[in-house]
Structure 1
């Protein structure tokens, strides 16, 4: 693709007013914990069977993405820190996207022996999202199938000490609402954004959804004392693009955010290019515009692949479900879902709670 063609396509994308895309990598399928809404150990094909992308592959993808003005990469899993080459992957993404890029990761924070936040920051990590659903060890273990919330908090503190941006992800369940409120209270004294995330009726979470789902609308009254005098925190101040509505109670150092992908999610501002462990890029969950990147890596034609991805994100403006209410998350971790060819995937509608604001589809 010529520079002129790339410039023209970027201009077309910019004219839509959407946030510029970023890369959302699912690095692996493996996790040493077993959260009740994720349950990786119960999956029939647990343990990724295809050859995952290498650090060199990530470097090449990042270099091409930089030519398309992409300036952010987010890594998740599984548990991405279980990859033996995680430092090399972080360094590859940082080098490929350039010195001004944001390189982030979602982790449960119970880092394996020999791996430290300092090492990851040295490799180029600029922010971290730590999953923390209860501060009580026994209750946390019930939710997450193991692990230690104190170790996760150590990871948070280490990241803050290194001046990394930190968000804490807390999936709210009805039986553990008090635990979520205690997690949210961490933002009183720490410069973190605690994100209260609605349970989604997808994958293993479907088994507990009816009993455990609680909407943002139902949660907010429990935070009334905190939020009554709270001011809104801009995404710019948070340092990364983040969905939902972030509020800082009076006198607090950090903020509380709501990620309401069940009660009021839309894709009107979704801007993730999701890439599976084996290198399948998915620019939109509502259109089947998936593209395997490995042949383009081998053939030196990543520019063609990225042109396809940007056109796909433009094309989805015509999808009848765009700006509609639907599930905006999609399980990529095991590359196990067959995508029907030719027709858009129309996801089911969930009408629970109320939505008084627009919410973007990104969840990094």
Structure 2
């Protein structure tokens, strides 16, 4: 279906803004069969499905409309997305809807639901896989994640690479387990993977452990200075990564190491994620209240109007002084009914981290949009 003239004008404005083109970040569910120390989903008051989740045909229709707006990437996460019985149908509908050349990704702990394999996801249309791995030691991995087998996750890594999928490994940095994180990062010596070292965030269950366990990117870089001396930078485009951050490839390594530092030096000036919750609430920014319900637009055939709203909201972040281009915390977007900012300023704390490794760190006040 062709876009209306005003929608073409909006896309032209978006291109001229220089912003990264948006991608769709679907949270498929909120449930998980792990109990990670920094996440503990079952402790959340709104844990589980409280509203009807999107169906495979609804995902397909959203993807088709997104494709007409030039969107070529969709990412699925959870919870643990492989616990959804229709997860392969969801992946297939997104791949077909966005069309040839689309990037379809998924984040998982790698211990898939019985009967599922990496091959199944690749055949459904998956092109890249993000796997959570916080320690290679089974006992310490269980301490962190509350279960699972890191060897099974490593098997998934190797199978995905053999099938031609791009692979990223997500590892949360905690002071008590920093050597475990370095062991995970060292996988990139011999495997062509991007290991992402993720700063702990002062949100949710992690609040209780944050003061003791937070270790900033700048300190980690100093500890790994031998690795990074003379390291080459890998382009985010080459990795299929569109989020802020630098990826470095130590000399002689097959893979790379990157940082996701939402506590010490995050910037949202080029963020391009449109988050979509399990029930179909689309959120163009975690820090304003321009959420929009997609199912009524699916039913009415007015998804183009919804995407016009989303693209406009992302454009106007550039000119809104309340943003200033920075954010320091991430709202947990897995639950549809968690409280969202409604017309009141959101005061965000700054984490004191010295020089921040070259990142700008300052106090910020983020106001909810009108």
- Normalised by the length of structure 2, the TM-score is 0.94
Aligned match of 1:97: 98
RMSD of Structure 2 on Structure 1 (CA):
1.6
Q: Following TM superposition, by how much is the alpha carbon of 1:242 offset from its aligned partner in structure 2, in angstroms?
A: 4.0
- Alignment partners' CA distance in 1, 2:222 and 2:17: 37
- Take 1:147 and 1:346, find their aligned partners in 2: how far apart are those partners? 37
C-alpha separation between the residues in 1 aligned to 2:3 and 2:94?
24
Alignment of 1:15 with 2:16, yes or no, is: yes
1:234 corresponds to which residue? Answer: 235
* CA separation of 1:274 and 1:91: change in aligned 2, threshold 3 A: same
Residue 154 of structure 2 is aligned to residue 153 of structure 1:
yes
Deviates more, 1:3-12 or 1:88-97: 3-12
Structure 2 CA distance for partners of 1:170 and 1:284, relative to 1, 3 Å: same
Offset, 1:358 = 7.6
Instruction: Describe the SS at the equivalent of 2:315.
Output: helix
Aligned to 1:362: none
The residue that corresponds to 2:364 in the other structure is: none
**Is 1:69 aligned with 2:70?**
yes
- Other-structure match for 2:25: 24
Deviations 1:99-147 (A, max 9, x none): 1100000100011110000000000000000000000000000100111
Query: 5+ unaligned residues in a row in structure 1: which ranges?
Result: 360-364
Number of equivalenced pairs: 359
Match of 2:358 among 347, 352, 356: 356
Secondary structure of 2:169's match? strand
User: In 2, distance between residues paired with 1:357 and 1:351?
Assistant: 12
Counterparts of 2:317 and 2:258, CA distance in 1: 28
- Cα distance in 1 for residues equivalent to 2:262 and 2:67: 29
Residue ranges of structure 2 left out of the alignment (5+ in a row): 362-370
1:241-252 correspondence runs (5 A): 241-252=242-253
Residue 239 (structure 1) shift: 3.0
Q: Check conservation: 1:326, 1:348, Cα contact below 8 A.
A: no
Q: Please, what TM-score do these two structures have when normalized by structure 1?
A: 0.95
> Does the CA-based 8 Å contact 1:286-1:346 persist in structure 2?
no
- What is residue 339 of structure 1 aligned with on the other side? 340
Shift of 1:342: 3.4
Deviation for aligned residue 1:329: 2.4
Which position in structure 2 is the counterpart of 1:274? 275
After the TM superposition, which residues 281-360 of structure 1 pair with which residues of structure 2 at under 5 Å, given as runs?
281-343=282-344, 345-353=346-354, 354-357=356-359
**1:243 Cα offset (Å):** 2.8
Question: Aligned-pair distance for 1:357?
Answer: 4.7
Alignment partners' CA distance in 1, 2:158 and 2:196: 17
